Amino acid sequence: MLSFEVYYARQGLPDEERMKELEVLAAADPDKNLLAFADLYPPHAAHTDFILVREKDKTIGAVIIYRGFSFPSVTVISSDQSLEPLLLSEVIEDIEGDFVTICPPRQEGLYGIQGEIISRRPEYQMIREGAPPEPEGPARRVMREGLAELREFYSIIEFAFWSDVIFESGPYMWVREDEKVVAAGGVHFMTKDTAQLGGVMTAPDYRRRGYARSITTHLLAALSEHVDKVSLYTPVDNKAAHALYRSLGFETVADRLMLMVRPVPFS
């Protein structure tokens, strides 16, 4: 007999036993379930809703809804793929407005059944392990007093996956030129052994100067004492980014889809 348990962020996290069960569930495929892992740890866990499906006193699936952005981010994990439609259908009406998911390609149909896919972007997941390269170029760490400038940079460049919560996840680096921020990037989240890079972006007038490489090498150096692996997602059609990350030791490990989904509740 299946049962559902719902834990809203505003009401507090699941207890330690449930959180441990979620870790075990995600650990069955840690690279694929990296986004699920991210929401189990500070600072993101406090901004996350957890909907668990349990059987025989064991968590066998979950929908994880991160609410730290201006839109929800949804991840579905399960020990049995046949449970995924049931899981998503249980929560689809509770997801206010459009939401994003970064998922394996096989889950595209799952989200297409439960909602209208309004944008679709194929991505690669790339992972790097081992000693970091030497830091290069002018990138420097962003201190807390620079948070307002960093926020303004991402607003101007229209980077959607930013909130001040992200800044608490790990180091951010930037390049300043002409008395302003012209490039930035940092750690979107960290799990016990993996850091996820994100937001490595350069203002249009300052590209092709090696700033993304500088930021990434400084991040890898800063992270080397804390995690074994560094992961990132990059659009399939961004050949320049692939070349950069491959030159720094990243390898493509999986195909992913970034979907923006508009819920279509069943009547």
Domain annotation for the chain: domains and CATH numbers: 2-122+258-263 (3.40.630.30), 131-227 (3.40.630.30)
pTM of the model: 0.93
Q: How confident is the model at residue 151 (pLDDT cuts 50, 70, 90)?
A: very high
- Rounded to whole angstroms, the Cα distance separating 105 from 102 reads 9
- Rounded to whole angstroms, the Cα distance separating 258 from 235 reads 9
Residue 42 CB neighbour total at 10 angstroms? 12
Whether residue 267 has pLDDT greater than 80: no
Q: What is the pLDDT of residues 206-262, one digit of tens each?
A: 999 999 999 999 999 999 999 999 999 999 999 999 999 999 999 999 999 999 999
Long-range CB contacts (within 8 A, 24+) of 54-61: 54/2, 54/3, 54/4, 54/5, 55/1, 55/2, 55/3, 58/21, 59/18, 59/21, 59/22, 59/25, 60/25, 61/25, 61/87
Q: What is the pLDDT of residues 96-150, one digit of tens each?
A: 899 999 999 999 999 999 899 999 999 999 999 999 999 999 999 999 999 999 9
